Amino acid sequence: MLRYITFRLLGAIPTMLLIITAAFFLMRVAPGGPFASERALPPEIEARILAHYKLDLPLWRQYFDYLSHILVGDFGPSFRVRDFTVFELLKTGFPVSLKLGVLALIVAAIFGMGAGIAAALRQNTRLDYLVMSSAMTGIAIPNFVMAPLLTLVLGVYLSWLPVGGWNDGAIRNMILPITALALPKIAYIARLTRGSMVETLRADYVRTARAKGLRARLVVLRHALKGALLPVVSYLGPAAAAIITGSVVIESIFDLPGIGRYFIQGALNRDYTLVMGAVIVYAGLIISLNLLVDIAYGFLDPKVKYDR
């Protein structure tokens, strides 16, 4: 297992390099720059600003300059915000996005799996149909439709929950964003769990357990669940990635100071360093999550062995 992990981590390095290079050059290809604006700058001022941010150097030199700084953990200055470095901005934003994403994932996993298991155990009853049709709705409605709707009803009309803001991570402020983020995933996980559970319940080893006379609950929890969860666990990797990228929209809608918003604002402002920083964080996160999922898979499925 250790060899496998080491191998994967080493393999992540060229992946990251590729991502950084692609992002770097793609950003520069887009027309416009960080300092083009409604007011044209006199030439001496424009020259000074470009020189200050090294934008007057040839592109390949800027690239290697950036790489050399990244290697020592220096993400550079933001082109837009002068009083904070990119690292400081990411440092304040990352815990917010992480908290949001992890909680949304946990909520999605628990509720999704719970609903899916319940539906599978009561297959073809009213409960089953209720869960599955709700799931279909949850998958079909995009979260940027759901979120403002929830905000309007629960925040403006009923005043039960705040409309927006982070408020230092107060629970009240997290409820709506987490719901909006988790709902589509709950739906998907529920369907996935149900399907997988139904199949597993028909498997030979489950029939053996039942034949042995084990209590129904034990059959489900100890034996069937592990097998049924395999597809769900593999989905958790991409689900986490989807939640992370979905947070870009949710953070804008709910005014949350996470990294997702930096993506949008940074891209529109051509704040190259900020967007690069966000790309690196997201890429690192997704690579790590996929690795974790694969490791978890190895523990759940006795047929999977990573080391020869």
Residues making contact with other proteins (CB under 8 A): 31-33, 35-42, 44-45, 48-49, 52-53, 80-84, 88-89, 92-93, 148, 151-152, 155-156, 159, 161-166, 171-172, 175, 252-255, 257-258, 261-262, 265, 268-270
Q: Name the minimum Å distance from CB 122 to other proteins.
A: 16
Minimum CB distance to other proteins smaller for 66 or for 254: 254
Closest approach of other proteins to the CB of residue 230, in Å: 29
Question: CA nearest 259: which of 284, 291, 289?
Answer: 284
The span from the CA of 2 to the CA of 142, in Å, is 40
Q: Are 181 and 245 in contact (CB under 8 A)?
A: no
Nearer to other proteins, 92 or 125 (CB): 92
Taking the alpha carbons at both ends of the chain, their separation in whole angstroms is: 9
DSSP E strands, the chain? none
**Helix axis angle, 225-254 to 272-300, nearest 10°:** 160
The one-character DSSP state at 152 is I
CB 144, min distance to other proteins, A: 11
Report DSSP letters for 91-109, one per residue: HHHHHHHHHHHHHHHHHHH
Residues 112, 1: Cα–Cα separation, whole Å: 30
Return the half-sphere exposure (C-beta side, CA atoms, 13 A cut-off) of residue 181. Answer: 34
Q: Which amino acid is at 202?
A: R
52 vs 215 by CB, closer to other proteins: 52
Residue 5 C-beta: closest distance to other proteins, Å: 34
Phi, psi of 85 (to 5 degrees): -80, 165
Please identify, using beta-carbon distances, which residue of 219 and 256 lies nearer to other proteins.
256
Question: Would you state the structure tokens that stand for residue 229, as one six-digit string?
Answer: 């969860």
Beta-bridge partners for 85:
77
* DSSP, res 184: H
CB of 123 vs other proteins, minimal distance in Å: 22
Residue closer to other proteins by CB (options 255, 301) is 255
Instruction: Tell me whether residue 234 or residue 252 sits nearer to other proteins (CB atom).
Output: 252
Alpha-carbon gap, residue 140 to 107, rounded angstroms = 19
- Shortest Cβ 52–other proteins spacing (Å): 4
Please say which residue, 257 or 298, places its beta carbon nearer to other proteins: 257
Instruction: Kindly state the helix (H) or strand (E) to which residue 246 belongs, with its residue range.
Output: helix 225-254
Provide, rounded to whole angstroms, the least separation between the CB of residue 49 and other proteins: 4
10 in helix, strand or coil? helix
Token pair recorded at residue 74: 């220096």
CB distance 307 to 1 below 8 Å? yes
Question: Closest separation between CB of residue 246 and other proteins, Å?
Answer: 16
Nearer to other proteins by Cβ, of 93 and 237: the residue is 93
